[in-house]
Every structure is written in C-alpha cells, then in structure tokens.
Structure 1
Amino acid sequence: MPLFKRLLAWLRPDAARPLTQVWLAALWMGLLANWPLWQQLHVLPDVPPGFIVAFAGMVVCATGAVLSLLAWPRLVTAVLVVLLMASGALAHFIGSYGIVFDTTMVTNLMQTDMRETLDLLSWQLLLSVVLLGALPVWWLLSRPPAPAQAPAWRVGGNLAAFALGITGTLLLALLQFSALSSTVRSHKPVRYMVTPLNAVYSLTAVSVRSRAAPLGPPAVIGADAHLLPRAEGSKPPLLMLVVGETARAMNFSLNGYPRNTNPELAGLPVLSLRQVTSCATATAASLPCMFSPLGREAFVDLKERQENLLDVLQRAGLAVLWLDNQSGCKGQCDRVPNSFTNQLPRGAAPLPAGLCGHDELGGECFDEALLHALDQRIAALDPARLKRGLVLVMHQMGSHGPAYFKRSPPDLKPFQPECQTNALQICPRQHVVNAYDNTLVTTDRLLARSIAWLQKQDRRFDPGLLYVSDHGESLGEKGLYLHGMPYAMAPREQTHVPMILWVPDGGLLAASLQPGCLAGLRDQRVSHDHLFHTVMGWVGARADVYKPERDLLAGCRS
C-alpha cells in the first residue's frame, strides 16, 4: 500500500511544489507557445512527423532542465510569470511575421522608441498573451504556498530533475540525430524559433556583451583627418546623406520595378545603383556598420567601440549635422550636432499641421518635416566649419513597418487598396505591398524636394545628394514579414537596398569625374562597405582609414 501511494504521488504530483510548476510550465511553453515552430516544421516537405514529435520532446526536456535549476519557492513564481507572458508575445510575433529573436533582434528591440512599440500592438497580440501567458499565470498564482522541504532535499531534487531533462534531451537528439542535423542545417531559422529558450539566450548574450564592452569614450580613428586643398574661389561641398529606413531596392521603379514608385526622381538626373547589399538586416546593427571604415566582415568581429564617419569628418574640419525622424542615431551622432524633427531651432516657424501631429500617427512626423527650418538649423552651426563644407545626415522613418499605412500622407497613396492594420498576416498580400509601395512614393517626394532645396544652395555650396537604405524588408515572401533575420540566412528582400546619387552638372565634383563614368556604376556590385570611403572622397576629406578602392567615385576621377 505505501508503495502504491508513492507511485500515485509520482503520477499526481503536488502542483504547489516549485519543481512540479516548472515542468508543467515547460510542457505548456514547449508544446503550445511554440506553435509557430511546429507549424513551420509541419509544412517542410523533408521533415518526417516522427522528428517533430521528438523535437517537441527535446524542447520540453531542455526547458524543464533549465527551469529546474530555478525551482526555488521565492524565485520560481516571478521567473515563470515573466517567461509565460513573454512566451505569449513571442508566439505572436514569430507566428505572425516570421521573425526570429537572435542577438541582433534583441539589440534592435532594446533601442526602439514608444512610436515603434505602439505600431506593434494589436488585438492578435493581446489574445496571444492572454491565452498563452495570462491564463497559465492565473493558474500559477492561484496555487497554495509551497510545502516546507529541507534545503538539501530541494537541491537534490532540482539537480536530479535537471539531469533527467538533459538526459531526455540528449537521448531524443541521438535517436533523431540524422533528421536533426539535416533539418537544422537545411532550415536554419528553426534554431531561432524555440520559445522561450532562444530569446533568453539572446538576451543573456547581449547583456554579457554590453557589460564586457570597455567603458569610456570610443577608440579614436582617423586622428590625421584633414581636407584636401581646394582651388581658390571654389565653393565648399554640401553633401546631403539621406539614410533610408526599410527600403528594398527591388521595389524602386528606377531599378526596373513595374510600378511607378519613383515618379519625381524619374525626371531628375539621378543615378540609381541596382546591386547594393546592406551591412545587416536591422537598424541597430546596420547603422554602426555602414558608418564604420572596416566593412561588414571586420566590423562583426570588432570587440571595442570606435568612432565613426561623422567623427572623422568633424575632425577634418567640416560642419556635420544629424537630423532624425526615427528612434535615434544608434550612437552615430553622439559627438556631432544633432536634433530630432520636432526639436526646432529658436525662431523657427512651427511644423505645419499636415506634417506632424495626426492622431493616427501618434504625434509622428512625415519625413518631409526633415526639410523644415533647415536653413535656420544650418545657420546655428559653426561658421568657420561651414566655410570648409557641410555634411548633412537625414535619418528617415521611411518605410518602417508593420504600420506602413502611417508612413505616407493622404495625398500620396496611389496604390489602393492598402493594408490599414499592423496585423499584416490578415491582409491580402497585395494590400500589404500597396501600403509599402506608397511609402516609397513618399520617400521619392522627399528626395526630389531635397534636391530642389540643394539646388538653391549652389550660390554658397557645391551641393550633392547620396541616399541609401539601412536594410530591406520582407513583405510576405515565404511567410516572412518585416526584417531582422540573421544575416547568414536572411532573404535577399532584407539585404538588397537602394542607393541613389545626385551629382549636379557644373559642380566641382561633376567636373572632376570622367564623362559617362558614373553610369558604369549602375550595375556594379557594391555594399554598405563603400559608404564611409565614398563620403570621404566626395567631400575631399582624407585620413589613414580612407581606402580609395572602396570609394565608388575614385575610379571616375580624372
């Protein structure tokens, strides 16, 4: 009889015990909160059903093993509440948009602002959090206090449960080793979809990396930065560098897209480069990389913080100004004059109502607000530096999703009907594309009006414009939306970005270039690796970090 009672106790464990709670939570999160993972594996043609069952067992065992180490009465409840609620949210984002939570995505989320966060809120998210998170949390919080147990027994039980979970994971992995290795190798996103283990690992890795980063100012680069001498009487350069957001090159009509997404630029003497690759697939990773002289491969291995392009240009003696209409410059403008569109200089006229403050925008401004009060902003800069030249960086909100419909004003929506929600997966794909393409028409008008403003500066400066997006975007191809996929497995939609140059005839730069040479760059394979050096060459700045072989214009100079 005592033996029977013990067996019954194993089959009906006390739900008030922390160890029981963590394993029930592991079962819930492993099987239910990972529904996007099971759905993804189910549709793969080369994945047998038996492997899916075994892989689910591995996820449950691994999750239970990790949580067993945290199964302490004063700790377990808080840990499980956080993980269960997070799992509900993760299941929504992974299942709805096909995104994954690696270290780059975690960094991007940590640097986002309230506007971008609000764009991600939806009834679908709330439902997922309630069903997969709040429901088990309510059950957990309604349990009675854990029964008293000697510390030695609790430590021994937790370690035994950990060992059992690890053993189960390894046994299942060995039984399905062939299918496991093949699936992980052929379908790499699968490894980033395990909830919540992968998110916890990525968050921990980012935290450790940030703590390991050296304190103090970034390492100096280009200490010898200087400007090349100009001919007497020549005008200083003015380069407007427009950093686009989430624009993909394949949707630009300048690059052959059948829809007219560039109606105004098509009538201007601009050059669109068609084979440009981004540094990364998310703003937080791409911006620091594209403003670095190292190039993507070397930048990924960089262990310390370094100065960037704007520091070198300022050290050379140029005036530098960063204007932002998004969530910030990710540290790139920290040591140069910078401002947001809604931070107007003293004496400037208020922003027009049509540009900012719509209720549906949550106070957001359309990108054209970047041009407002531009003359007053420039007048506030150091006049001695302005005499040497100016690099003006404008950081767009661009095509930032998922609420694409918010990124274009009412008079610039030629493609209808458009998706009017951030729940992209419930819209017909063509409606999503319509909303996205409308954002590109809005960018087209911004660039055209920027060129018009630059043309008015030619009495004082030698103007030019360079536009390049930070990364691309998935619009439902292969079930993927938005961006942020690990670079090694990212689809081309997220890495193929537009780059547009405007070099006006009659300017010093145009006069220094061989006739017709720029057109030869149209289909040349280039990347963000060229940005630092092309800008340096464009404005006549030099330093030991400048590499002429990465300057797109160097080969065209006479």
Structure 2
Amino acid sequence: MSLVINHDKLALSEVKGIIHSLGLAILCFGLLRIAARVLLVRILLALLIGLEFFLQLTYQTSMSVSIVMSLLNAPMSEAVSFINQYGWALLLALISMGLLITLPIRPSPLLTVTSSALGLGYLLIPLLLQLPGIYRDEFYVDYLNKGTSRGHSTTFSQIEYSLHKLSPRFPMFTSVIALLDSATFLGMQIDSHSSWQQVSRGDNAPHLLVLGIGESLRAANLSLYGYERNTTPQLASLQRSQNLQVFNQVYAAGTNTWNSVPAIMTHSQDLPDMSKSIIHLAKDAGYETFWLSNQAALGQWDFSITSLANQADHQFFVSTDAGGSQYDEVLIPELASAIASSDKPKLIVLHFYGSHMTFSDRYPAKFAHFNSANSELDQYDNSVLYTDYIQQQIINLVTKHKGQYLYFADHGLGEPNGPIALKHDVRTPPDIDSLRVPMFTTPSITNHLNSAQAVPLFHFECIFTRWADISAKEISDNNFCEKAINAEHLTFLDANMKVQTQLLPAKLSAKLTLK
C-alpha cells in the first residue's frame, strides 16, 4: 500500500521512493499501534489509509473537494459505471481496510515506542528544521495571497499550512483537509438573484442563441484538431464549407464537470459567483432562457449544475437520477420545441452527456466504428463520432431558424497513453492537455475572435458577451476582458476549488481580438 501511495516519488527516484514508502509504512504502523486500544480511532485511521490507497490506484491523486462533491452529486447510473470500471481497486481497498482494522496487534511497548518515534520523526523532523522561517518564506506568502488559506486567524493559517507541508509525507492529511473544505462549501449560501450591473443588449444581438456544453471531450481526439482517426467527418465538412469556425487552443476552467461548468458559466475572479451567471446576464438582457440537459437533476449542492439550471426560465432534465440513460439525441426534439415555444429572444443551453464514462453507453450500436486492440480508446472515439453526428443535427436545426450556435466541452480527460488514460485528471496540478477542449461556432464570428489564440474558458463571459452582443459594467470596466483573455497564463480551478494559473506556451502568445 505504501508503495502505491508513493508512486509519484518512485517515478522520480527509486531510492527516494523506497525511502518514503518505508517511512510512511513505519509511520502508519506506529499510529495503528498507538490506536490499538481505541477502536474508533483505529477505524478512522484505516479508512483514511484505505481511501488514499484506492484513489492512488484509480486516479493517482489524493482526496479533493471535487472528488467529494462529485460523489455527492453522482446519480446511481454513474455510481454503477464507476464500480464496474474500478471494482477491483475498491475490493483491494476494502480488504486492506478490513485487515488494518481486524488484524490483532500484540502488546509490545518497545515496538510501539520505536515505530512511533521513527514514523513521527520521518513526518515531523524536516518541518521542524525549517521553523520558524517556514512562515516567512515566499511559499507561505503565496499560500496566503492566493486564497489557499481560509484565513480564520494567523495561528489557524499556520496550522493549516503545516498540514499542507506535511501531506507529501502523510497524504492522508490531504483527505482530511478536503473533507473539511467540502463541509465549508456545503455550508455556503448562494445568492440566486442577479447582481449584474448596467446590462444592455446591442442592436445586432441575435434573436436565437444556442449554447452547447459537451462532456469529457478531448480536443486531441477530434480529427477536426488533427487526430489521425476520422472522428468528426460531419464537423470537418461544415468547416470546409466555411460554415463553422473552429478555435484551436481552448482550455477548460477545470478538469471535472462539478468545478468547470460553474466557473465557465459565471463571472468571477476566484470561486464561481452564481449571482453573475451567464443565465442571469441573458435574462437581464431580455432573453427567455432554457436549460435542456441529458444529465441528471440533482440536489442543491453549492456550485452545482442544477443551481445554474434553476436560474433559467425553463428547465428540462432527462431524469432526476439517471443522467445519460438516453443518448444525446433526446435533446434535439426538446430544442425544436423550445425554439418554437414563443417569438421572444432566446438563450437555450444544451448540456450533453457526451463522452462520459462508461464510453460504450454513450452511443448507439451503429456508431461502433473503431475496432482495435485498445477497446477503451475505441469506445471513447466512437462516442466522439456520435457527438459529431449530434452536433451536425443541432447545427442544421439552429441554422434553419437563423440562430447562432456555440459549442465547447466542459473538460477533457487524461492522455490515452498516459498514467491516467481517459480519466478525469483530478491531480494537482493537472496536465494541461487534460484542460484542452474543442470550441466552435456557427456562423463564423471571426470579426470578434481570433481562432488561433489560446482561449481560457475561465473567462467565458468575455467570449459570450461578444458573441451575444450583450454588455455589462463588470465586463467593460477597466478593460477587464482585454486583460483577462490576453494574459500570458491560463486560469483554472484545481480539484480543491483553488484558482491556479499556468504559463502559456510561447507559440500561443498571439493576442485575441475583442471588438
């Protein structure tokens, strides 16, 4: 178990990895001996160790806020798919936890003192050697300034920072911090009323706006972006006929739906501000709003997709607890019905199930086109091929009604041949490739946006307002969008809902034109 938990250190150096694995094993053994006579403490310790073991086996990361919230929001169908895919790892973790709880620990004061002393020394000595300067260095200042600290008091911040510093040697601290942060988020109150200021709709604002949000779609697996497999023939045909504008370097605001979609669909400098959502902005500009989803409608968790959907004038969910139980084509007649419902200006948001696991459940049998030794990749690419078909149908319908359509995916997945192949990259930080997603519009809006520029969806409100010809004080003040979009770095939320930035590659430094 210790070797699995320290896989990242083993990958960097076998010697250091083995030393850290041995240190962690001794520390856990010592703590279990100390807790031998207090069953509840022993159970909690075993649960934390087993949970870390399971997460490292499946996602090669520790517990995070995003994982906690995703579990709380997961419908039964997703839970079943997850168990089918990772049941082996869950079984190993449960067996390990059971052994840690039930194996007899013989009384031996000498062994208890020795193992505890060695383990705690491994954990604490490196930190103690840095005191007190650790609370004055640039990393601590950065920790305070970036909002990683919750800032209840100086003492609290120092204790919390110490736990962060200790977590590489005892990763179970990360799970404790994630659970505490999750409880904080669940206790927050979200203002459901708009706080946008000075909103107006331009003379050239489209009468019909349709916004498509894809799911778990890697730009690198679309032939539209140079992928060797022909996964997007319909979209490529539209692009060749100059009816589709494709943006080449678009990056999601997070690596899972729970943190990415709220960050994309709101105006914020840090955590999503639901009072400044795209839905509220469109309503303030005079649009009738619709949220049509093939995902499940869930409880009112903070920053959840459901809380965004409930801001719309009209909502449609396929199910309350079985998202993806039907193919995405179920949304096409709902879109047609929404378009025909009135003559008012409309914003219609389509939330697809796209390429969410289990991939083979995302498309009808006739789209099972790819067949190789890598069945998981084949199934994923088949889901992309089906998405290509669905997008063509949506575009034809929107075009028929002289509307405008913009599509992006909420996040990507890990590189197919990488360490977390086609999984949510909830590591901190994630690989930038797992943030790269497709985005395209029809008709073309080249006069507003440069297709070659890196576009951070964290600031999607800047894209949306140009596309929809809507203005607001928050967008226009101090050249906000010019600064946000043309920054030299990408901004996104990591798995613990902390704002992170990453420098752009030099080749993506061309500026985005916003008019």
TM-score, normalised via structure 2 length: 0.72
- Counterpart of 2:281 (choices 294, 306, 312) is 312
Contact 1:62/1:169, CA 8 A, preserved across alignment: no
- Tell me the SS of whatever aligns to 2:452: coil
1:129/1:343 CA distance change after superposition, 3 Å: closer
Contact 2:32/2:45, CA 8 A, preserved across alignment: no
Contact 2:75/2:323, CA 8 A, preserved across alignment: no
**CA distance in 1 between partners of 2:212 and 2:463 (Å):** 14
- Counterpart of 1:453 (choices 377, 397, 402) is 397
Matched, 1:495 2:451: no
Post-superposition offset of 1:39: 4.0
Aligned to 1:170: 124
Aligned to 2:19: 53
Aligned to 2:365: 410
Contact 1:287/1:332, CA 8 A, preserved across alignment: no
Matched, 1:96 2:25: no
Matched, 1:115 2:77: yes
Contact 2:295/2:318, CA 8 A, preserved across alignment: no
Aligned to 1:484: 425
Aligned to 2:208: 238
Post-superposition offset of 1:528: 0.3
**CA distance in 2 between partners of 1:63 and 1:224 (Å):** 62
Aligned to 1:36: 4
Aligned to 1:185: none
- Tell me the SS of whatever aligns to 2:418: helix
Aligned to 1:391: 347
- Tell me the SS of whatever aligns to 1:118: helix
- Counterpart of 2:315 (choices 324, 331, 339) is 339
TM-score, normalised via structure 1 length: 0.67
- Tell me the SS of whatever aligns to 2:23: helix
RMSD of aligned Cα (Å)? 4.1
Post-superposition offset of 1:163: 8.7
Aligned to 2:237: 267
**CA distance in 1 between partners of 2:39 and 2:276 (Å):** 44
Structure 2 residue identity aligned to 1:527: P
**CA distance in 2 between partners of 1:292 and 1:392 (Å):** 16
Post-superposition offset of 1:136: 3.9
**CA distance in 1 between partners of 2:276 and 2:28 (Å):** 42
**CA distance in 2 between partners of 1:334 and 1:528 (Å):** 22
Aligned to 1:369: 330
Aligned to 2:251: 277
After superposition, the C-alpha distances for 1:498-552 in whole angstroms (9 at most, x for unaligned) are 111111xxxxxx6xx6xx647x722211110442122223223221122463789
**CA distance in 2 between partners of 1:364 and 1:88 (Å):** 31
Contact 1:316/1:541, CA 8 A, preserved across alignment: yes
1:409/1:81 CA distance change after superposition, 3 Å: farther
After superposition, the C-alpha distances for 1:225-262 in whole angstroms (9 at most, x for unaligned) are 222245xxxx9521111111111111111111121110
- Counterpart of 1:105 (choices 61, 67, 70) is 67
Aligned to 1:201: 177
**CA distance in 1 between partners of 2:228 and 2:334 (Å):** 36
Aligned to 2:270: 299
After superposition, the C-alpha distances for 1:464-512 in whole angstroms (9 at most, x for unaligned) are 111111111014443123123345x211221111111111xxxxxx6xx
- Tell me the SS of whatever aligns to 1:241: strand
Aligned to 2:457: 528
- Structure whose CA Rg is larger: 1
1:137/1:128 CA distance change after superposition, 3 Å: same
Runs of at least 5 residues in structure 1 that lack an aligned partner in the other structure: 1-31, 147-157, 178-187, 345-356, 418-427, 504-509
Aligned to 2:410: 470
**CA distance in 2 between partners of 1:192 and 1:322 (Å):** 42
Q: Percent identity?
A: 23
Post-superposition offset of 1:67: 10
**CA distance in 2 between partners of 1:258 and 1:456 (Å):** 32
- Counterpart of 1:132 (choices 96, 102, 105) is 96
- Tell me the SS of whatever aligns to 1:272: strand
**CA distance in 2 between partners of 1:163 and 1:208 (Å):** 34
Aligned to 1:222: 196
**CA distance in 1 between partners of 2:442 and 2:168 (Å):** 41
Contact 1:85/1:132, CA 8 A, preserved across alignment: no
Aligned positions of 1:132-151 closer than 5 A = 132-139=96-103
Which is worse superposed, 34-43 or 533-542?
A: 34-43
1:314/1:79 CA distance change after superposition, 3 Å: farther
Post-superposition offset of 1:272: 1.3
Post-superposition offset of 1:166: 4.1
1:229/1:223 CA distance change after superposition, 3 Å: same
1:290/1:72 CA distance change after superposition, 3 Å: same
After superposition, the C-alpha distances for 1:398-450 in whole angstroms (9 at most, x for unaligned) are 1113x212112211121114xxxxxxxxxx6x332222111111111111000
**CA distance in 2 between partners of 1:67 and 1:219 (Å):** 54
1:517/1:216 CA distance change after superposition, 3 Å: closer
**CA distance in 2 between partners of 1:242 and 1:192 (Å):** 40
- Tell me the SS of whatever aligns to 2:438: strand
Structure 1 residue identity aligned to 2:175: A
After superposition, the C-alpha distances for 1:138-180 in whole angstroms (9 at most, x for unaligned) are 557xx99x9xxxxxxxxxxx99999986455224778999xxx
Contact 1:322/1:395, CA 8 A, preserved across alignment: yes
Contact 2:296/2:318, CA 8 A, preserved across alignment: no
Contact 2:249/2:453, CA 8 A, preserved across alignment: yes
1:199/1:274 CA distance change after superposition, 3 Å: same
**CA distance in 1 between partners of 2:360 and 2:57 (Å):** 22
- Tell me the SS of whatever aligns to 1:325: strand
After superposition, the C-alpha distances for 1:14-62 in whole angstroms (9 at most, x for unaligned) are xxxxxxxxxxxxxxxxxx3x44224443343x3425x633454246537
Aligned to 2:493: none
**CA distance in 2 between partners of 1:86 and 1:62 (Å):** 11
Number of matched pairs: 436
Post-superposition offset of 1:291: 1.1
Aligned to 1:321: 290
Runs of at least 5 residues in structure 2 that lack an aligned partner in the other structure: 132-163, 298-304, 487-510
